[in-house]
Amino acid sequence: MLRPLIIGAILLVLCAGIPAVSALGGDEGWYRVHCNVDGANVYFDGQYQGTTYGGSLDVPVYTTGAPYSSYRVEKSGYNSYSGSLPSGPAAGQTVDVYATLQPVETTGSIHVTSSPSGAAIYLNGNYRGTAPLTIQSLSPGTYSLEAERSGYNSDHATVTVRSGQQSNIQFTLTPIEQYGSIKVTSSPSGAYVYMDGVYKGRTPLTLTSVSAKKHNIELDHSGYYDWRSTVTVSPGVTSYVNAYLTTIPSETTGAIDVVSYPAGADIFLDDRYQGKTPAAGVYAISNVAVGSHTVRVALSGYQDYTTSVIVSGATTSHVTATLQPGQSTSTGSISVTSSPSGAEVYIDNVYKGITPLTVDGIATGTHAVRVALGGYSDWSTTVQVGAGSTASASASLSPVPTQAPHAGVAPFAVIGALGILGILVALHRRD
């Protein structure tokens, strides 16, 4: 009884000492995994194989077993490394495999630029240098940035830094606007003052909050030559302009400069249309006869501005129209229809369009209306246009009569034809 038990124990011990590869019927080889970090865990096809020590780990494999295809090496605080395994080793052979682990980045950076460049950069109130600048090794979080440069307004921004990433920010700095003033006088006084083409008032005049740079100054005064100059304004300083105007000899014509607020208004000189006031500067009406004239400035949605202007020879008179909101009171409209339609419409002998037609902006008073259409007699009338109202003209066109043949022609033609026929018959008988 004891002898079989002893034999069985001996066999069990012998079997325990035989490597598993013998059970698989194959030989053993090794993968040697080299790593730059000790204590890294090694996985083959996702199966844990051991931990590196002394720079490597030997992993036994069996030449007759199912081969591994991939490996992964990882350690806390490092980015994991993965790769494909080379062909399996032969019996007793070692195949080298390499893995280099990189530490996980725990900081970020900020790259700062400025326009213009050279701005001083402050991070959370601490000076870090001048742009362009990269601020490195910043812990993840939110930071306050400020850019400063002499002569420019400072700029601020808030930047979020993320681990392993670079945040970029561009500061666009605006120049600090600096102002001075200009005091303008003239001899004689009362001259119209224009700065950089924009009307400012009449002398004596002080211009405030003027940007610190060079400006063009122009003075106009009726009966005097225009006066022009340039003046440089310094920050916080008052510059002085004193103009001595020169009298111009009498002439037969002058000019009128017209400015309106708002711009874009229609200008009428003695009820004759001249043009529109520009957005900047003045509208100049030249070759105006010396004497008294009426200037009217009209813009839809505003009351008309009307004034009398005295024009002197070779001088420029000025009109500044500040329009008040409201309905225009000195113009109306004319509505023209015709039967048949499609006829040409002339108002005061000026072509306006095709019927049916409504013409706006007609000055109040009496106007001549003519309607013309090919094949029809012209139709004319006069209408009275009232302020803010519409006058109507309805034309019933009559066809132009066609010329009928004269009634006495036919009998004479018949008699003549009979005579010719008789002559022909007589000649035939004679033959």
Q: Running DSSP on this structure, what letter comes out for residue 314?
A: T
Which domains can be identified in the chain, with CATH numbers?
Answer: 19-103 (2.60.40), 108-172 (2.60.40.1120), 179-244 (2.60.40.10), 253-322 (2.60.40.10), 331-396 (2.60.40.10)
Give me 57's structure tokens.
Answer: 């780990």
Whether residue 36 contacts residue 57, with contact meaning beta carbons closer than 8 Å, is answered with: no
Torsion of CA 405, 409, 413, 415, to 10 degrees: 150
Q: Facing residues of 321 across strands?
A: 260
Q: Output the tens digit of pLDDT for each of the chain's 431 residues.
A: 445 445 454 444 344 333 333 333 458 999 999 999 999 999 999 999 999 999 999 999 998 888 999 999 999 888 899 999 999 899 999 999 999 998 887 889 999 999 999 999 999 999 999 999 999 989 899 999 999 998 899 999 999 999 889 999 999 999 887 899 999 999 999 999 999 999 999 999 999 989 889 999 999 998 888 999 999 999 889 999 999 998 876 667 889 999 999 999 999 999 889 999 998 779 999 889 888 999 999 998 899 999 999 988 878 899 999 999 987 666 778 999 999 999 999 999 989 899 999 888 787 778 899 999 999 999 999 988 876 678 899 999 999 887 654 444 444 444 555 555 555 545 555 55
| 248 vs 234: CA distance, rounded Å | 34
